């Protein structure tokens, strides 16, 4: 039975990926991408990596999907400016296809022949008592390799700055006021606290079970995006200093804590065992908050981009 | 590796620029520039005690989180990393001063030029982290940091051309990162470790290792803009703002070259063949000739300089065929390894100084005349004497005339080529120099030619011109401490180490 499910998922993932690449119109492409993301999430769950499955479903299918649909709306509006570029010739298409095929065959062969190196699973489990948490994935992310996680939290912030750079402005526009369905507004009001609680639960769960900062952040970010769409642009209309504090809290506090313990004679990100559990929870909470803020900011910024003439919340005068 | 002396300075090299970048975000234009400049100068200053520490104690390390590899991540500051960090500190410091004056002058109200400072400090931290990292996955994270900040900086001017070039740059960078990451996954699967030192000892030859070598090398070659994967570089570097072009060309592309050098000498020894080294050398030789020829054909100064980067990066690749030894040659008997490594390090430094200076000068010409077409160079000697001087001095270093850093690098490269009897690389080195002389002398000829009448010259702050000239002169001054630098580098591997290869069917035989 499980073999059937696994084979079905494997075939479905490849099929959806190919269909997505070959889809003739952009909307089809986007929705196939959704379906592909969800299939991948299921595959991760089948592989026993529930944390990755949640992250895949929430970020790749959920958050990216929302951004893509938002972009799609802008595309359909400016359709009149011209349809696509010139298509590559059949010969070059064939050559690229053949090249990709050869690459895939060689890659699969190489992956097939990977000798079993054992990995670090046993070592990570052995050191759990010294890490301050009870779940090996959380121990890897926030203690053994916290330096990588710290830089990755920073990458989310840098992505937002990169978006500011491409958009040519560093402030958020008032969202285009559309008639919002009163029922929708009620549903959003109902959902926001639920999303917040489920996010907090996932965050706390990370101590012992699959879950953690990135998963919680996506749920909180979803809450922020829903509020924005419902006509309460909470994040975008915040005072700039508060907004910056939210965006930098995770990355900054992580580093501050690292510097503090380094001043005490330890290494960067070395936590004393007695406080490690608590410190990791605080660091995770702030990181989740910052990532959620960055995700909301990315959406709010995109959403404001479609209305070029919209007035800013904070004028850019210096 | 874990019993080496530890030093907190190593972690500060990454932490300090990030702390300044985060603080700078809270300020508007003026305060942000001040915090940014302070952070830049602080990061430059930090490099000196770090290098002194290495000179005194040898390689120093930092165990992040207190965990030793393979579980944790190890940062190691050895002489090679110290030289790269020092070069970044000096060139980056002068570019920061230039940027300070440049953005004051521009003062584009409501624009995004204030984003320069946090992005540049994040980028700098990423580069320092890259030079220090001894962990394959952590290297991936650092190239992500460097890549995303570099793309963001490249589009900062907001012009359509820079956005299109920036998108291309982004796609190339992502493709490169994915190739690299795929290889990392294969290596971790085969050996169960990500630490470079442990990996080098544990890796066995086989199809998975060979495939990882190929995808990681290709991925890093895209990011280093190696021929024929250099297509993204000229438009992206030419369309960016002057301080950004300078740091992209002088510093960013050197980061992935550094990883390539480390991987080939410290990890992939078991899987490399003599032919692989020759192949990458061919890519380098073609890049030198093709890039220089393209530079000669351009009619905008910034495009000339950007294409020249493709060529100068080619010289770096020509070091690989010298380092990967022919089957049967023992590393102990290969006396050309030291000149070859010296050539690589000096080419990185000389190009860093000279190219940064060149792009900064191009920026000055755009401020003064409003464009950078060839005609803008006319009568430069009378109009902007200091900038003309900077271009001449930097150009001499790019050509490789004595006594510049560029000369020293190319001379060492030729020495290595002849000592290893791989004379077939020599024509490319010399041909590249002749073509480079072609476009540099063309620029200088125009600089002495009379100007077209009626072209007004806007005033340019003296400070900008001084920055460009200082970097140009720097590309000569680096030769003075050459003895000390080489001695410093020779105290530890991987400097002057070679990769021994075996005839097919020996230790190497696939399958």
Q: What are the tens digits of pLDDT across the range B407-438?
A: 999 999 999 999 999 999 999 999 999 999 99
Q: Do A109 and B29 touch (CB under 8 A)?
A: no
Of A168, A241, A318, the CB nearest to B26: A241
User: Best residue in A267, A270, A297, A317 to probe B by mutation, most B CBs within 10 Å?
Assistant: A267
Q: Is the same domain home to B263 and B280? A: no
A106 touches B: beta carbon within 8 Å = yes
Q: Are residues B375 and B472 in the same domain?
A: yes
pLDDT over 90, % of chain B: 73
Residues of chain A contacting residue B193, judged by C-beta atoms under 8 Å apart: 117, 120
**Residue B8 resides in a domain:** yes
User: For A23-76, how does the pLDDT look when each residue is reduced to its tens digit (9 = 90+)?
Assistant: 888 888 888 988 999 999 999 988 888 888 888 888 877 888 888 888 887 776
Strand-pairing partners, residue B324, are B499
Distance from CA of B444 to the nearest CA of A (A): 36
Across the interface, whether the CB atoms of A251 and B18 are under 8 A apart is answered yes
Band (B106; pLDDT cuts 50, 70, 90): low
**Residue B507 in domain:** no
| Closest A-chain CA to B29 | A318
**B127 and B221: one domain?**
yes
- Contact between A161 and B166 using a beta-carbon 8 Å cutoff: no
Question: Which chain A residues have a beta carbon less than 8 Å from that of B11?
Answer: 258, 262, 267-268
Residues B255 and B334 in one domain: no
B246 or B29: whose pLDDT is higher? Answer: B246
Q: Kindly state the helix (H) or strand (E) to which residue B36 belongs, with its residue range.
A: helix B29-57
Residues B249 and B283 in one domain: no
For residue B258, give how far its alpha carbon lies from the nearest alpha carbon of chain A (Å). Answer: 20
Radius of gyration over alpha carbons of chain B, in Å? 22
- Check residue A141 and report its DSSP letter: I
Q: Are residues B266 and B277 in the same domain?
A: no
How would residue A318 be classed by pLDDT, with cut points 50, 70 and 90?
Answer: very low
Question: Does B85 map to a domain?
Answer: yes
How far is it, in rounded angstroms, from Cα B289 to Cα B311? 7
Question: Within the 11-50 window of chain A, which residues sit less than 8 Å (CB to CB) from chain B?
Answer: none
Q: Which residue of A has its CA nearest to B156?
A: A165
B264 lies in the same domain as B350: no
Q: Is residue A169 less than 8 Å (CB to CB) from chain B?
A: yes
Count interface pairs A-B at CB distance under 8 A: 172
Residue A157 confidence (pLDDT): 95
Check residue B328 and give its pLDDT: 82
With respect to residue B500, please indicate whether it lies within any of the assigned structural domains. Answer: no
What's the pLDDT at A230? 83
Residues of B whose CB is below 8 A from A169: 110, 112
Give the distance from residue A274's alpha carbon to the nearest chain B alpha carbon, in angstroms. Answer: 15
Q: CA-CA distance, B482 to B485, in Å (whole number)?
A: 5
Which pair of tokens denotes residue A32? 């196939």
**Percentage of the residues of chain A whose pLDDT score is greater than 90:** 26
Q: Helix (H, G, I), strand (E, B), or coil: what is residue B61?
A: strand
Q: Do A262 and B145 touch (CB under 8 A)?
A: no
pLDDT at B115 over 70: yes
Q: Which residues on adjacent β-strands are paired with residue B62? A: B75
**How high is the pLDDT of residue B308?**
95
Please determine, for residue B168, whether its predicted confidence score (pLDDT) is greater than 60: yes
Question: Domain ends where: B271, B290, B324?
Answer: B271
Provide mean pLDDT across the span A225-233: 85
SS3 state at A221: helix
The verdict on B305 and B258 lying in the same domain is no
Q: Which residues contact B135 (CB under 8 A, 6 or more apart)?
A: B69, B73, B74, B194, B195, B196
Q: Is residue B508 in a domain?
A: no
Overall average pLDDT of the B223-245 stretch: 91
The larger pLDDT score, comparing residue A167 to residue A32, is at A32
Contact B192 A118 (CB under 8 A): yes
* Residue where a domain stops, chosen among B271, B300, B331: B271
Tokens of B411: 């001379």
With a cut of 80, say whether residue A174 has pLDDT above it: no
Of A146, A148, A251, the CB nearest to B22: A251
Contacts of A154 in chain B (CB under 8 A): 18, 122, 145
Assigned domain for B511 exists = no
Domain that holds residue B118: 1-271
pLDDT tens digits, residue range B476-508?
999 999 999 999 998 888 888 888 887 654 444
Do the Cβ atoms of A290 and A156 come closer than 8 Å?
A: yes
Give alpha helix (H) positions in B375-425. 380-383, 385-399, 405-419
Tell me what pLDDT residue A308 has.
52
* Candidates A109, A120, A158; nearest CB to B149: A158
Same domain, B236 and B298: no
Q: Do residues B243 and B300 share a domain?
A: no
Domain end among B271, B287, B321: B271
Q: Exposed/middle/buried for A273, CB within 10 Å: 0-12, 13-18, 19+? A: exposed
Q: Which of residues 235-274 of A touch B (CB under 8 A)?
A: 241, 244-245, 247-248, 251-252, 255, 258-259, 262, 266-271
Q: Is the same domain home to B118 and B6?
A: yes
- Indicate whether B510 belongs to any domain: no
Residues 6 or more apart whose CB falls under 8 angstroms from that of B214 comprise B183
Which of A85, A131, A151, A280 is best to mutate for the B interface (most B CBs within 10 A)? A151
Report ipTM for this prediction: 0.92
Q: Which residue has the higher pLDDT, B205 or B176?
A: B176
Q: What is the pLDDT of residue B9?
A: 93
**pLDDT per residue as tens digits for the range B247-295:** 999 999 999 999 999 999 999 888 888 889 999 999 999 999 999 999 9
In this structure, is residue B89 part of a structural domain?
Answer: yes
Contact A228, A214 (CB under 8 A): no
Average pLDDT of the residues in A71-87: 61
In terms of domains, do B180 and B311 share one? no
Residues of B in contact with A113 (CB under 8 A): 206-208
| Terminal Cα-to-Cα distance of chain B (whole angstroms) | 32
Query: Residue A42: which of A4, A68, A13 has the closest Cα?
Result: A13
- Count: domains in chain B: 2
- pLDDT of residue B296 exceeding 80: yes
Tokens representing B311 are: 């060529």
pLDDT score, position A175: 67
A110-155 pLDDT, tens per residue?
Answer: 888 787 777 788 888 888 888 888 888 888 888 899 999 999 999 9
Q: Residue with structure tokens 């393209």? A: B294
């Amino acid at each position: 039975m499980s073999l059937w499910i696994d084979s079905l998922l494997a075939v479905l993932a490849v099929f959806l990926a190919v269909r997505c690449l070959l889809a003739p119109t952009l909307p089809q492409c986007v929705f196939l991408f959704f379906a592909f993301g969800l299939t991948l999430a299921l595959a991760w769950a089948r592989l026993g990596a529930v944390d990755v499955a949640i992250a895949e479903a929430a970020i790749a299918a959920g958050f990216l999907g929302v951004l893509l649909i938002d972009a799609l709306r802008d595309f359909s509006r400016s359709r009149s400016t011209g349809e696509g570029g010139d298509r590559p010739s059949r010969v070059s298409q064939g050559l690229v296809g053949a090249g990709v095929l050869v690459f895939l065959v060689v890659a699969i062969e190489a992956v097939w022949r990977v000798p079993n190196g054992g990995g670090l699973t046993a070592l990570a489990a052995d050191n759990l008592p010294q890490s301050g948490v009870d779940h090996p994935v959380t121990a890897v992310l926030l203690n053994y390799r916290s330096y990588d996680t710290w830089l990755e939290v920073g990458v989310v912030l840098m992505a937002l700055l990169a978006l500011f750079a491409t958009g040519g402005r560093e402030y958020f526009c008032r969202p285009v006021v559309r008639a919002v369905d009163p029922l929708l507004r009620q549903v959003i009001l109902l959902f926001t606290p639920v999303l917040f609680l489920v996010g907090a639960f996932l965050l706390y769960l990370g101590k012992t079970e699959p879950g953690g900062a990135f998963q919680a952040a996506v749920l909180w970010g979803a809450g922020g995006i829903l509020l924005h769409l419902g006509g309460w642009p909470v994040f975008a209309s915040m005072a700039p200093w508060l907004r910056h504090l939210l965006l930098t809290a995770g990355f900054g506090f992580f580093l501050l804590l690292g510097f503090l313990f380094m001043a005490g004679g330890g290494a960067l990100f070395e936590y004393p065992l007695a406080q490690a559990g608590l410190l990791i929870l605080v660091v995770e909470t702030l990181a989740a908050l910052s990532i959620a803020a960055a995700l909301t900011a990315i959406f709010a910024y995109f959403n404001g981009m479609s209305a070029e003439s919209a007035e800013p919340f904070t004028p850019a005068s210096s | 590796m874990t019993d080496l002396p530890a030093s907190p300075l190593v972690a500060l090299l990454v932490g300090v620029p990030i702390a300044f970048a985060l603080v700078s975000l809270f300020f508007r234009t003026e305060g942000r520039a001040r915090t940014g400049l302070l952070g830049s100068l602080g990061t430059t200053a930090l490099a000196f005690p770090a290098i002194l520490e290495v000179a005194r104690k040898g390689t120093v390390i930092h165990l992040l989180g207190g965990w030793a590899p393979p579980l944790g991540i190890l940062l190691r500051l050895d002489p090679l990393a110290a030289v790269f960090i020092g070069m970044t500190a000096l060139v980056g410091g002068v570019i920061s001063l230039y940027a300070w004056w440049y953005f004051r002058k521009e003062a584009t109200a409501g624009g995004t030029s204030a984003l320069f400072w946090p992005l540049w400090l994040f980028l700098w931290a990423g580069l320092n982290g890259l030079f220090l990292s001894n962990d394959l996955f952590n290297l991936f994270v650092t190239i992500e940091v460097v890549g995303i900040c570099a793309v963001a900086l490249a589009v900062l001017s907001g012009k359509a051309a820079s956005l299109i070039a920036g998108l291309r740059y982004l796609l190339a960078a992502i493709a490169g990162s994915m190739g690299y990451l795929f290889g990392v996954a294969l290596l971790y699967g085969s050996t169960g470790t990500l630490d470079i030192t442990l990996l080098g000892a544990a890796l066995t030859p086989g199809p998975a290792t060979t495939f990882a070598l190929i995808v990681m090398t290709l991925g890093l070659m895209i990011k280093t803009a190696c021929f024929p994967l250099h297509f993204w570089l000229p438009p992206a570097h030419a369309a960016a703002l002057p301080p950004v072009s300078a740091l992209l060309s002088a510093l960013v592309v050197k980061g992935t070259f550094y990883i390539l050098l480390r991987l080939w000498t410290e990890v992939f020894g078991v899987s490399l063949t003599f032919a692989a080294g020759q192949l990458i050398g061919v890519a380098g030789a073609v890049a030198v000739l093709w890039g220089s020829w393209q530079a000669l054909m351009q009619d905008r100064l910034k495009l000339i300089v950007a294409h020249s980067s493709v060529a100068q990066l080619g010289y770096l690749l020509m070091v690989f065929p010298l380092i990967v030894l022919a089957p049967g040659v023992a590393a102990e008997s290969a006396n050309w390894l030291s000149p070859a490594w010296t050539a690589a390090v000096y080419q990185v430094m000389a190009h860093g100084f000279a190219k940064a200076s060149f792009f900064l000068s191009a920026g000055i010409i755009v401020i003064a005349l409003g464009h950078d077409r060839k005609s803008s160079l006319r009568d430069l000697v009378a109009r902007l004497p200091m900038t003309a001087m900077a271009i001449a001095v930097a150009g001499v270093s790019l050509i490789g005339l004595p006594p510049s850093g560029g000369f020293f690098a190319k001379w060492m490269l030729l020495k290595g080529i002849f000592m290893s009897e791989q004379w077939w690389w020599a024509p490319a080195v010399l041909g590249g120099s002749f073509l480079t002389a072609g476009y540099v002398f063309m620029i200088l000829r125009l600089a002495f030619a009379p100007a077209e009448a009626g072209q007004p010259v806007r005033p340019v702050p003296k400070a900008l011109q001084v920055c460009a000239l200082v970097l140009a002169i720097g590309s000569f001054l680096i030769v003075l401490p050459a003895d000390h630098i080489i001695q410093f580098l020779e105290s530890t591997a991987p400097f002057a180490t070679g990769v021994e290869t075996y005839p097919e069917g020996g230790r190497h035989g696939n399958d």
